């Protein structure tokens, strides 16, 4: 019998039907994947299982009998634990204190029983094979370690169902492997796991069963053993997908971006490279290798301690995004919600934000020019929207990313830097973004791409630069870049 199941569940928000007739069974000892594009209803489903939302119709079944979750506390009490992409620990408390937050064991005299807490934590960590100091403060833990703490916290509550909502989005390869080791162990101990990820290879590695949602409706439930990744993609998008990495070969032209011995103490050291017009250069490496920090410094977000950046042969003033933009640089940042967009502003105003000088008539902003600029790029990027005056926050993740791209492409940059351009966006949009980047490069733009997804790096880049612990350790031309060569450089096993 399923530990936790949904039976014919529907949920609407206003006029939007987020889920329609969804049934799902989570069995003990089984990892069940939930696949679907952004906006397919995965998050809503998680929120129903975790007690955040109540279904409009249908039932939640716990060990076969219907239950009502009045809130997240009820779900937690029933043994459902959710691990999010961004863990929510208290940074100033120790690991132990985080695990037992709100339900610390007491001694006979009513004081918090630190010894019991430490002992239980030790046992949990030993069971998980985790090596962390339980007395360490949560601040400074990597996201991967924080997730392990969250898992330990869930287990200390006797969780029977572990829901993981894109837990790997911010993890590096090793960290993913370690997380999967832990999850597999839990599965074998009889936990039911619901796993959500945009990375198909992870679904195929970890799970036995997959339910696919499309537009809130369940389209298929398959045993992983019976299908291929291509089958799964077809179920998610409902059509055959064009190649995910439609890379065309461009002709490299003159040097557009030159980075010379760029150093930011304690972050990255002596980074030098060039990007030519017409090529896509990928900056690969593990999370924390300093890739994002390098592109931030190039764009002038942070000040470097040494070295310089040249664009089109002219040296940039350090620490000035304005100067970088004037020279023809554009940066599509890593965190689109926090850095790429102003969520409260409308789509057209967001697109105009990086080019306020270009939508002016005299001293005043021209609404017409602003609208035309947005309209033009919305059509070119096939943006799905109701009105350009809607707040950008109502769009799905993939469409938000298109707005960020539109905002920067409208400036007609000579060098486009994209940091994790397809993180957290659905497969369909991903292929569109890849095609766009390829077309831009062929059209003569220099593209520098930071990506943690190896298939993306290998599929899109003309050259791959690999960083390890703040240094550039390898430069691999497209022909010799393989998963093995990039990973061994990224983990510091070879030096170039």
Please check whether residue 202 is in contact with residue 184, taking contact to mean a CB–CB distance below 8 angstroms: no
Give the separation between CA 239 and CA 237, rounded to whole angstroms. Answer: 5
DSSP string, 16-64: EEEEEEEEEEE-TT-EEEEE--TTSSHHHHHHHHTTSS--SEEEEEETT
> How far lies 14's CA from each of 56, 174, 366, in Å?
12, 42, 34
Give the separation between CA 482 and CA 455, rounded to whole angstroms. Answer: 9
Size of the site for other proteins (CB under 8 A): 45
Q: Does 41 bind other proteins (CB under 8 A)?
A: yes
Kindly state the smallest distance separating residue 417's Cβ from other proteins, in Å. 11
Q: Does 344 bind other proteins (CB under 8 A)?
A: yes
Kindly state the smallest distance separating residue 412's Cβ from other proteins, in Å. 14
Q: Does 352 bind other proteins (CB under 8 A)?
A: yes
Residue 439's φ and ψ, nearest 5 degrees, are -65, -40
Q: Does 343 bind other proteins (CB under 8 A)?
A: yes
Q: Does 414 bind other proteins (CB under 8 A)?
A: no
Out of 345, 369, 442, 487, the residue judged to bind other proteins by CB under 8 A: 345
Q: Does 39 bind other proteins (CB under 8 A)?
A: yes
Q: Which listed range, 56-64, 89-97, 181-189, 349-357, lies at the site for other proteins (CB under 8 A)?
A: 349-357
Out of 2, 6, 9, 18, the residue judged to bind other proteins by CB under 8 A: 18
Out of 219, 353, 442, 487, the residue judged to bind other proteins by CB under 8 A: 353
Pairing of strands 364-365, 360-361: antiparallel
Comparing CB distances to other proteins, the nearer of 18 and 26 is: 18
Out of 20, 43, 171, 468, the residue judged to bind other proteins by CB under 8 A: 43
Out of 64, 110, 140, 363, the residue judged to bind other proteins by CB under 8 A: 363
Q: Does 396 bind other proteins (CB under 8 A)?
A: yes
Burial class (CB in 10 A: 0-12, 13-18, 19+), 401: buried
Q: Does 118 bind other proteins (CB under 8 A)?
A: no
- CA gyration radius, the chain: 24
Look up residue 137 and give its DSSP letter. Answer: B
Give the separation between CA 203 and CA 373, rounded to whole angstroms. Answer: 40
Burial class (CB in 10 A: 0-12, 13-18, 19+), 275: buried
For other proteins, the binding residues in 174-193 under the rule CB under 8 A are: none
Write down how long the chain is: 496
Q: Does 339 bind other proteins (CB under 8 A)?
A: yes
Q: Does 150 bind other proteins (CB under 8 A)?
A: no
Q: Which residues bind other proteins (CB under 8 A)?
A: 13-14, 16, 18, 39, 41, 43-44, 47, 53, 84-86, 165-166, 301, 321-322, 324-325, 331, 333, 338-345, 349, 352-354, 356-357, 360, 363-365, 393-394, 396-397, 407
């Amino acid at each position: 019998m399923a530990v936790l199941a949904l039976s014919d569940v529907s949920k609407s928000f206003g006029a939007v039907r987020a889920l329609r007739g969804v049934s799902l069974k989570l069995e003990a000892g089984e990892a069940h994947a939930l696949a679907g594009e952004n906006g397919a209803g995965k998050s809503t489903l998680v929120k129903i299982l975790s007690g955040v939302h109540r279904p409009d119709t249908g039932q939640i079944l716990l060990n076969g009998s219907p239950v009502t979750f009045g809130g997240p506390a009820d779900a937690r009490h029933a043994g459902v634990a959710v691990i999010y992409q961004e863990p929510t620990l208290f940074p100033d408390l120790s690991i132990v204190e985080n695990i037992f937050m709100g339900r610390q064991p007491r001694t006979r005299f009513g004081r918090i029983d630190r010894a019991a807490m430490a002992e239980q934590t030790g046992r949990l960590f030993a069971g998980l094979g985790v090596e962390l100091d339980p007395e360490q403060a949560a601040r400074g833990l990597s996201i991967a370690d924080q997730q392990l703490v969250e898992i330990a916290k869930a287990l200390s509550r006797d969780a029977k169902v572990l829901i993981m909502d894109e837990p790997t989005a911010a993890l590096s390869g090793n960290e993913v492997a370690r997380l999967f080791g832990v999850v597999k162990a839990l599965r074998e101990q009889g936990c039911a796991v619901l796993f959500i990820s945009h990375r198909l290879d992870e679904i195929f590695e970890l799970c036995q069963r997959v339910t696919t949602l499309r537009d809130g409706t369940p389209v298929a439930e398959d045993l992983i053993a019976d299908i291929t990744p291509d089958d799964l993609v077809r179920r998610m998008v409902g059509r055959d997908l064009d190649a995910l990495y439609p890379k065309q070969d461009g002709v490299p032209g003159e040097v557009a971006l030159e980075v010379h011995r760029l150093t930011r103490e304690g972050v990255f050291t002596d980074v030098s490279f060039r990007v030519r017009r017409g090529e896509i250069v990928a900056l690969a490496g593990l999370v924390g290798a300093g890739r994002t920090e390098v592109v931030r410094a190039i764009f002038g977000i942070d000040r470097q301690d040494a070295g310089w950046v040249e664009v089109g042969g002219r040296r940039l003033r350090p620490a000035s995004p304005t100067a970088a933009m004037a020279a023809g640089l554009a940066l599509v940042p890593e965190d689109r919600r926090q850095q790429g967009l102003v969520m409260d502003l409308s789509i057209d105003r967001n697109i105009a934000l990086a080019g306020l000088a270009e939508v002016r008539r005299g001293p005043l902003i021209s609404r017409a020019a602003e609208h035309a600029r947005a309209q033009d790029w919305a059509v070119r990027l096939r943006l799905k929207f109701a009105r350009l005056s809607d707040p950008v926050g109502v769009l799905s993740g993939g469409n938000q990313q298109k707005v960020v791209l539109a905002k920067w492409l409208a400036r007609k940059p000579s060098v486009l830097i994209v940091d994790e351009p397809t993180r957290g966006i659905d497969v369909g949009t991903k292929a569109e973004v890849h095609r766009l980047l390829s077309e831009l490069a062929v059209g003569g733009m220099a593209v520098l791409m930071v990506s943690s997804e190896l298939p993306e790096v290998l599929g899109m880049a003309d050259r791959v630069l690999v960083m390890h612990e703040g240094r550039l350790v390898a430069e691999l031309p497209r022909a010799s870049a393989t998963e093995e060569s990039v990973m061994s450089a990224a983990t510091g096993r070879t030096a170039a």
